[in-house]
C-alpha cells in the first residue's frame, strides 16, 4: 500500500472541527473510502472512555452503527481517527495497545490507517497518519491534502 494518504480537505476540516468541538477531551471516529480506495467520509463516534482527557474508547453502539452505515453505503473502512487535544500527533503507548487484540496480539483492524489530530497549537492543527502493523512498530505515512 502507498506511503502517502490523500486526504480530502473537506474530510480533514471535519476531523479538525470535531477535535476542536471536543477539546479538552479526545474525540474519535471512523474514516471510510469508496471502492477505489479514495477517502470520502468521516463518521464521528462518541468517546465512551472513562478518562476522555487522555484516551478514547469508541462507544460500542455508535461504533456498530458507523460500521453498519459504511457497509450499507458500499464503502469500506479506511481508518480510525482520534484527537490529542494538548499533545503531539503520535500514537501513545495506550493508542498502540488499544489497536491490538490483547489475547491474540493481532491488529483489531488490519490495514487500517490511524489518524491523529493534534490541537497542541490550536491555530495550526496537525493531522498525521500511521500504520501499526504490530504492537512494537509505528509506520508514519505522509498526509497529502487534496
The pLDDT assigned to 1 comes to: 56
Domains of the chain, start order = 4-145 (3.40.140.10)
The cell for 77 is 473502512
The single residue of 26, 62, 76, 140 carrying the catalytic annotation is 26
Q: What is the pLDDT of residues 49-65, one digit of tens each?
A: 999 999 999 999 999 99
Q: Is 26 a catalytic residue?
A: yes
| Chain segment 105-139, per-residue pLDDT in tens | 788 898 899 999 999 998 999 999 999 988 788 99
pLDDT tens per residue across span 1-49: 568 999 999 999 999 999 999 999 999 999 999 999 999 999 999 999 9
Q: Give which of 140, 132, 120 is closest to 94, Cα–Cα.
A: 132
Rounded Cα distance between 137 and 117, Å, is: 20
Grid cell locating 138:
509505528
Q: Is the peptide bond before 50 cis (omega within 30 degrees of 0)?
A: no
Amino acid at each position: 500500500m502507498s506511503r502517502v494518504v490523500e486526504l480530502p480537505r473537506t474530510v480533514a476540516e471535519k476531523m479538525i472541527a470535531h477535535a476542536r468541538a471536543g477539546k479538552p477531551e479526545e474525540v474519535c471516529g471512523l474514516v471510510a473510502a469508496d471502492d477505489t480506495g479514495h477517502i470520502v467520509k468521516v463518521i464521528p463516534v462518541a468517546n465512551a472512555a472513562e478518562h476522555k482527557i487522555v484516551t478514547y474508547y469508541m462507544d460500542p453502539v455508535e461504533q456498530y452503527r458507523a460500521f453498519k452505515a459504511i457497509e450499507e453505503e458500499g464503502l469500506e473502512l479506511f481508518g480510525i481517527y482520534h484527537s490529542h487535544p494538548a499533545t503531539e500527533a503520535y500514537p501513545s503507548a495506550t493508542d498502540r495497545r488499544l489497536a491490538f487484540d490483547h489475547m491474540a496480539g493481532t491488529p483489531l483492524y488490519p490495514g487500517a490507517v490511524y489518524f491523529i489530530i493534534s490541537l497542541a497549537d490550536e491555530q495550526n492543527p496537525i493531522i498525521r497518519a500511521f500504520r501499526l502493523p504490530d504492537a512494537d512498530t509505528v509506520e508514519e505515512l505522509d498526509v497529502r491534502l487534496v
